[in-house]
Amino acid sequence: MRLYSTKSPNKFVDLKEAVFKGLPADNGLFMPEHIPTLPKYFIKNLKKYSFQEIAYKVTKTLLNGAIPNKDLKKIIEQSITFPAPVVSLDNQYHILELFHGPSLAFKDFGARFMAQLMSYFNKGEDRKLTILVATSGDTGGAVAAGFYKTPGIEVIILYPSGKVSNLQEKQLTTLGHNISALEVNGTFDDCQALVKKAFLDKECQSHLRLSSANSINISRLIPQSFYYFEAFKQLEKSRKKTAFCVPSGNFGNITAGLLAQKMGLPISHFIAATNANDVVPEYLASGTYTPRPSVPTISNAMDVGNPSNFARMLDLYQSEWGVMKDNISGYAYDDAQTRVGVKEVYDKYNYVIDTHGAVGYLALKEYLQKNKTHRGVILETAHPSKFIDEVEKVLNKQIEIPERLAILANKKKVAKFIEPSFDDFKAHLLSLD
């Protein structure tokens, strides 16, 4: 397998380099040179395979020998360790629950697979790998859980003091072992700036082997394609066309769906659902892409004003707007509409959906009104208890917090408090050498 940068289509790297680099030097994004199709027999007979077997088959086909089969099998077995069930509300509305992992959001799939892949490629290196992650909350929790106890890899998480929720903070600060947290007396941007400076600093680079667990890493994208197959497998056989509706922020999840479709999964259409941060729906409607600063909403994991994976979407469609909009419809909703969506799903179907999923529900509903004979799968990207305040207010009832989140409340936070000063951060890093 070779990968190119969306900015230099004729220069290639191997998978190991793409995984450790994350971002190409030219600031493009890594894409696989070939996206092979899976055998028809496999697609027709998904029911015969377990989730892990599906994941293995998809990865083996895409990676095309980059990792020996037996190693690949182990990577899959250690990363796909929780299910992705489909809950059918009726015969048109289906929910793909992606929150059964440790941090209760779909990002667990990407983070775990990335951890396993990095650990595999890191074997034979005698120096440990240090991964720096700046987080505004959600990504850090998935990365911490994903890399927990991964041999040869140490993770340092930087988060802005007082700006993440209590349970989110506990997800970052209670694991111990190879995961440590720095509580930065500043903003998320300060955290990100410290990480960026460390990568540019010669002394840090020579004393430590540094890498990042950035969300645009190709190893986070690949596993997100698995559950589209897994969802399809669980749907009843039907002549109905099947659309997938994806609540989107950086558009990684939907890009992984496009990958699954390209590999042969018969997805009839994609629905890109956003909150008020609607630059992609706007592009799909008008052909003009205008990135702008993000605005805060109650579905805050999608508050993105310049989605990083949009470059991958353009690349897949060779920048042909007409082709892209035939395959993807965009819809956007404000917070008031989102609240109505949460309430409606509960009243109509007795299902508690989170604010991100509710944006998806509204978009699928609008799409099905024009495409009455189709059916749709909404990706439920997080468990509603992650956004408990908003959901409880709308439904006027208490919702259940899963055990694995609830137990964090009593765990002791361990974090080192630092000022947003690069000298202090660097001194900390060098002391780990």
Catalytically active residues are 107
Distance CA 16, CA 30 (A): 12
Task: Name which position in 22, 160, 252, 264 contacts ligand PLP (CB under 6 A).
Answer: 252
Show Cβ contacts of residue 314 under 8 Å, excluding neighbours closer than 6 positions: 6, 324
Which one, 79 or 381, has the nearer CB to ligand PLP?
A: 381
Distance CA 412, CA 415 (A): 10
Strand partners, 2: 14
Which one, 129 or 259, has the nearer CB to ligand PLP?
A: 259
- Decide if residue 257 touches ligand PLP (CB under 6 A): no
Which one, 77 or 400, has the nearer CB to ligand PLP?
A: 400
- Amino acid identity of residue 385, one-letter, is S
Residue located via tokens 């998320």: 188
Find the binding residues for ligand PLP in span 11-40 (CB under 6 A). none
Work out whether the CA dihedral 278, 243, 347, 380 comes out positive or negative.
negative
Per DSSP, the three-state class of 350 is: coil
Distance CA 307, CA 433 (A): 35
Q: How far is CA 88 from the centre of its chain?
A: 23
**Per-residue contact string for residues 37-76; x = within reach of ligand PLP by CB under 6 A:** ----------------------------------------
Distance CA 214, CA 51 (A): 25
Per DSSP, the three-state class of 247 is: strand
Give the range of 9-17, 84-92, 116-124, 249-257 binding ligand PLP by CB under 6 A.
249-257
Q: Least distance to ligand PLP from the beta carbon of 133, Å? A: 14
Task: Name which position in 138, 169, 190, 315 contacts ligand PLP (CB under 6 A).
Answer: 138
User: Strand order of the sheet with strand 375-380?
Assistant: 86-88, 93-97, 375-380, 242-247, 269-274, 328-332
Q: Least distance to ligand PLP from the beta carbon of 273, Å? A: 9
- Decide if residue 261 touches ligand PLP (CB under 6 A): no
Number of residues that bind ligand PLP (CB under 6 A): 15
Indicate the Cα dihedral angle 202, 206, 207, 212, nearest 10°: 80
DSSP classification of residue 373:
T
Find the binding residues for ligand PLP in span 107-136 (CB under 6 A). 107
CB 204 within 8 A of CB 210: yes
Which one, 57 or 220, has the nearer CB to ligand PLP?
A: 220
Helix (H) or strand (E) holding 220: helix 218-224
Which one, 204 or 213, has the nearer CB to ligand PLP?
A: 213
Task: Name which position in 59, 248, 261, 338 contacts ligand PLP (CB under 6 A).
Answer: 248
Distance CA 167, CA 382 (A): 14
For the record, the structure tokens of 192 come out as: 């990100």
Q: Least distance to ligand PLP from the beta carbon of 356, Å? A: 4
User: Strand locations in 98-239, DSSP E?
Assistant: 129-134, 153-160, 179-184, 209-212
Q: Least distance to ligand PLP from the beta carbon of 103, Å? A: 9
Q: Least distance to ligand PLP from the beta carbon of 224, Å? A: 7
- Decide if residue 382 touches ligand PLP (CB under 6 A): yes
**Per-residue contact string for residues 352-381; x = within reach of ligand PLP by CB under 6 A:** ----x------------------------x
Find the binding residues for ligand PLP in span 287-306 (CB under 6 A). 301-302
Give the range of 31-39, 48-56, 156-164, 241-249 binding ligand PLP by CB under 6 A.
241-249
Task: Name which position in 61, 250, 327, 421 contacts ligand PLP (CB under 6 A).
Answer: 250
Q: Least distance to ligand PLP from the beta carbon of 305, Å? A: 12
- Decide if residue 251 touches ligand PLP (CB under 6 A): yes
Distance CA 35, CA 216 (A): 18
Find the binding residues for ligand PLP in span 83-112 (CB under 6 A). 105, 107
Which residues contact ligand PLP (rule: CB under 6 A)? Answer: 105, 107, 138, 247-253, 301-302, 356, 381-382
